């Protein structure tokens, strides 16, 4: 497998960077993550919008323009030939002489095999809530200090992942947005979250008898929801069946499945281009 560093291809075992990089020295970097199906990147312009925006917010310059970045990704896809994959684009603060001052960013593109079928057939998720507000939430930074640190906590609580809330206001999962479904509303947080591409696709759907609402909501509303699901580039709309050990709804997840089907249709459309 090859990895692209500053638009040069390296074998995985040679894909190294200097320990002077500001990601290692100061955790400074952004990234984005999109998937390919049959070697075609899905919704790539949406991901580029977010990636270039993250870079601007963090004062990082991307040496490649969108066309050049697209080409760099296609070059990697072509070289690796992993039809169904995740593409991770990382932009770090670059090599810094004093370990503090920002310089010329490093751009790293990594491709990871994704077993799309398997992930779709797995069971619903158990989440455990945790009081944490991500910093600079609108930017897809590489900061996962809490998520990684809490892996043990998640395991100890018999959960699959975290659900962050800010003093009771539900926010997001570390790598996914979060929705609940009530009698006639599909609700997701509006503020202080990373706005996922899949989340925005879901909000554009037409679901009969339901309206989408972006607002703050509480853990108590979550516990009493009819359905709950996460959205992400790899999982699309994926059911959650328990939170903090409390079962959510009747476990049928009818609306979540409908939403997931409609997302798969959008992906199929994009795939045809």
Per CB under 8 A, does 103 bind a second copy?
no
DSSP state of 12: G
254, 268, 263, 269: which is closest to 200 by C-alpha?
263
Size of the site for a second copy (CB under 8 A): 47
Under the binding rule (CB under 8 A), the answer on residue 83 touching a second copy is no
Q: Are strands 29-37 and 85-92 parallel, antiparallel or unpaired?
A: antiparallel
Q: How many angstroms separate the CA atoms of 50 and 114, rounded?
A: 22
Nearest to 259 by CA among 240, 225, 224, 231: 231
Output 26 or 66, the one with its CB closest to a second copy. Answer: 26
- Using the minimum distance from each CB to a second copy, give the nearer residue, 161 or 227: 161
Task: Work out how close the CB of 59 gets to a second copy at its nearest, in angstroms, rounded to a whole number.
Answer: 6
**Smallest separation (angstroms) from a second copy to the CB of 102:** 6
Q: Which of residues 62 and 255 has its CB atom nearest to a second copy in the complex? A: 62
Mark 47-71 as b/e (b = at least 16 C-beta within 10 Å): bbebbbebbeebebebeeeeeebee
Stretch 13-42 residues interacting with a second copy (CB under 8 A) = 13, 15-29
For residue 239, state whether it binds a second copy (rule: CB under 8 A): no
67 CB-near residues (< 8 Å, 6+ apart):
none
Q: Does 1 bind a second copy (CB under 8 A)?
A: no
Report the alpha-carbon angle 165-119-90, nearest 5. 65
By CB under 8 A, is residue 90 in contact with a second copy?
yes
Nearer to a second copy, 52 or 217 (CB): 52
Judged on CB neighbours under 10 Å (0-12, 13-18, 19+), 22 is buried
| Contacts to a second copy from residues 105-124, by CB under 8 A | 108, 110, 112
- Integer Cα distance of 190 and 187 in angstroms: 9
**Sole window of 92-100, 192-200, 236-244, 258-266 interacting with a second copy (rule: CB under 8 A):** 92-100
**Does residue 135 bind a second copy (CB under 8 A)?**
yes
Instruction: Tell me how far apart the terminal alpha carbons of the chain are, to the nearest angstrom.
Output: 27
Q: Which of 34, 42, 44, 58 binds a second copy (CB under 8 A)?
A: 58
Among the listed residues 36, 85, 111, 141, the single contact to a second copy using CB under 8 A = 141
- Judged by CB under 8 A, does residue 148 bind a second copy? yes
Residue numbers of the site for a second copy (CB under 8 A)?
3, 5, 13, 15-29, 57-59, 88, 90, 92-93, 98-102, 108, 110, 112, 132, 135-136, 141-149, 151-152
């Amino acid at each position: 497998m090859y990895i692209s560093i500053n638009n040069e291809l390296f074998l995985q075992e040679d894909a190294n960077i200097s320990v002077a990089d500001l990601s290692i020295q100061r955790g400074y970097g952004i990234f984005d993550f999109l998937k390919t199906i049959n070697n075609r990147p899905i919704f790539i312009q949406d991901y580029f919008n977010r990636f270039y925006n993250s870079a601007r917010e963090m004062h990082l310059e991307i040496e490649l323009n969108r066309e050049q970045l697209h080409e760099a990704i296609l070059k990697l896809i072509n070289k690796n030939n992993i039809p169904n994959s995740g593409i991770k684009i990382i932009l770090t603060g670059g090599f810094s002489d004093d370990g503090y001052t920002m310089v010329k960013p490093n751009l790293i593109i990594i491709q990871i095999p994704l077993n799309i079928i398997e992930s779709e057939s797995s069971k619903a998720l158990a989440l455990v809530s945790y009081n944490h507000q991500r910093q600079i939430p609108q930017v897809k930074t590489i900061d996962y200090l809490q998520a990684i640190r809490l892996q043990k906590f998640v395991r100890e609580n018999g959960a699959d992942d975290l659900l962050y809330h800010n003093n009771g206001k539900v926010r997001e999962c570390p790598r996914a947005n979060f929705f609940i479904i009530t009698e006639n509303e599909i609700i997701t947080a509006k503020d202080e979250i990373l706005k996922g591409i899949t989340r925005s696709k879901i909000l554009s759907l037409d679901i009969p008898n339901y309206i989408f609402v972006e607002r703050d909501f509480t853990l108590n509303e979550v516990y009493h929801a009819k359905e709950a699901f996460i959205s992400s580039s790899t999982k699309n709309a994926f059911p959650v069946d328990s939170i903090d050990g409390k079962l959510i709804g009747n476990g049928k997840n009818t609306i979540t499945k409908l939403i997931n089907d409609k997302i798969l249709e959008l992906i199929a459309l994009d795939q045809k281009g």
